[in-house]
Amino acid sequence: MKKRSPRRLAIAFALLGSVALASSASAHCDSPEGPVIPAVHKALEANDLTPALRWIKPEYEQEIREAFAKAQKVREAGGEARELADRYFIETFVRLHRAGEGAPYTGVKPAGTDPGQVVRAADAALQSGSDETLRKLLLDRIDEAVHQRFARAKEALVHADHSIEAGREYVEAYVAYVHFVEQLDRLTSHAAHGHGEHDDHPAAHHEQHHH
């Protein structure tokens, strides 16, 4: 193992400090179990960024190439410098991937972070070659969500004229019900016409598994 270089260690710490953070919910690509981070590790070990670039939008390609060159230079020192360089590059890569999705970033999630049942099912569908289980899961959830809002609005309508308070409860239930089905309509209409939010990205959550 090469001797650690104080200068390279200093550069590595500086690179880590340059990673911008923003508030957001956790995302599958932010965890080691997602498809992005393993691709980044592979790129670092092979010293070949090309296969991982599918996860980066063109407008961020130059920035990630520069970060990759810096990280590889620091990695030559081995030991702690190599670990810091890897961490810096992984965080930069995920941040830029998220930026390309129009999503904020809170950092890389710890190993074992559960992305949720639906995302697990989406990944499993790609691995198995069938989306039957995923579609059933989503349809069941949508069915239950619509029915709950409908039932609440229906019950509130019965009492809507009994008092001002009851009338307001009905309006609240009605708005929640109608807004929800409107959102579903927008989502499904876009999907039906091939104009989903991430249609131009190699990942419409979350892209091709090695994705």
**How far apart (Å, rounded) are the C-alpha atoms in residues 53 and 67?**
13
Whether 83 and 127 map to the same domain: the answer is no
Chain-wide mean pLDDT for the chain? 80
Whether 17 and 80 map to the same domain: the answer is yes
Whether 24 and 52 map to the same domain: the answer is yes
Q: Please write the tens of the pLDDT for every residue from 56-82.
A: 999 999 999 999 999 999 999 989 999
For residue 103, the tally of other CB atoms under 10 A from its CB is 14
Total number of domains constituting the chain: 2
Whether 55 and 135 map to the same domain: the answer is no
Q: CB burial class (10 A; 0-12, 13-18, 19+) of residue 121?
A: middle
16-45 average pLDDT score: 67
197 within some domain: no
Dihedral, CA of residue 187, residue 193, residue 195 and residue 198, to nearest 10: 70
Full-model pTM: 0.58
Whether 84 and 18 map to the same domain: the answer is yes
Asked if pLDDT for residue 3 goes beyond 80, the answer is: no
Q: Please write the tens of the pLDDT for every residue from 155-204.
A: 999 999 999 999 999 999 999 999 999 999 998 886 555 544 444 444 44
Q: How big is the chain, counted in residues? A: 211
Domain residues for the domain of 172 are 117-192
Whether 76 and 123 map to the same domain: the answer is no
138 within some domain: yes
Which residue is listed with tokens 């650690």?
A: 4
